[in-house]
Structure 1
């Protein structure tokens, strides 16, 4: 009888250990499934964002066409209609996270701007003077940089090279 009790105790310990092992396996499987679910959701969101980005990039051409057409319609009746359509389009694209990059008067930043030309003037160097083509951000990602003209500051002490004036040699 003592031997039977010892055998039952050993069997019970073995079954308890087996149950604990299976419970741990189940916990690992549950954690793996949860990680897979989160990864899958991120991947789905990434695919949607990429598809939205591609579509929005294609629509930027239409916004550019509006921006070019509106100034030429200064005295026409259609101007207000085009302005309304452009505003609605920007509102819808804004709901998807599209924002124009404001740049005139700000410092040049290569992450947001592309320099097309420079102009010598009294303003501080690398200050943006003109925006040739509006840049856009989709949420926090730049999908098209602004094409800009920047200032190139004129030196105050022109001609102090070895005591000679530069314009003397011109």
Structure 2
């Protein structure tokens, strides 16, 4: 190799090294940029997780408060009924007028039924209805010539809350006599 070729090769090597160092610097700059970007994303993620945790805690607190006072309106509606029952009891102690006491109790019961209906509570139909194990609970069975699987007596009223069973009705059911 002559001197010219050697110098040319050295120049080429230097150019490659310069290009390599430029590329390394470029890659380092790019890496720093991506590292900062990753840190920003990580910080955003941490903030989002903290916000999510705060939202969950706030929602749990609100739900707890709601459940604590959910029956407030119902109870406000029941208080006048309780007042009327207390008045009827006071009147019963101070008077012998059973007719007046009976009327007062009937009116109070009517108020209570209206209050319950206002909140979606309805009585389960019983006497004369076909026995339905979803809303009736048979506590007694009587054999009869006719009327099999019919409710013939109610021992305790059953109630529905917005079409969901709140309490089953305790009933006597007629069963057809078998020979």
* Shorter-normalised TM range: 0.5 to 0.7
Instruction: Give 3-state SS (helix, strand or coil) of 2:170's partner.
Output: strand
TM-score normalized by the length of structure 2: 0.55
Distance 1:32 1:107 in 2: 53
Aligned residues: 137
1:77-92 equivalences in 2 (<5 Å): 77-92=100-115
Corresponding residue for residue 30 of structure 2: 9
Distance 2:132 2:70 in 1: 25
Instruction: Give 3-state SS (helix, strand or coil) of 2:131's partner.
Output: coil
Distance 2:173 2:155 in 1: 11
Distance 1:110 1:47 in 2: 33
| Residue 143 (structure 2) pairs with residue 128 (structure 1) | no
Distance 2:125 2:55 in 1: 42
Structure 1 residues 47 and 150, CA gap change in structure 2 (3 angstroms): farther
* Further displaced range: 12-21 or 26-35: 26-35
Residue deviations 1:38-97, cap 9 Å, x none? 4444444455569989xx9xx9xx8xxxxxxxxxxxx93444433221121222233344
* Further displaced range: 32-41 or 106-115: 32-41
| Residue 51 (structure 2) pairs with residue 30 (structure 1) | yes
| Residue 135 (structure 2) pairs with residue 112 (structure 1) | yes
Structure 1 residues 135 and 20, CA gap change in structure 2 (3 angstroms): same
- Name structure 1 gaps, 5 residues minimum: 63-74, 159-170
Distance 1:109 1:46 in 2: 33
Shift of 1:140: 5.4
Query: Which one has the bigger helix percentage?
Result: 2
Aligned match for 2:40, one of 19, 43, 49: 19
Distance 1:43 1:140 in 2: 26
Structure 1 residues 40 and 103, CA gap change in structure 2 (3 angstroms): farther
TM-score normalized by the length of structure 1: 0.58
- Name structure 2 gaps, 5 residues minimum: 1-20, 86-97
Structure 1 residues 32 and 10, CA gap change in structure 2 (3 angstroms): same
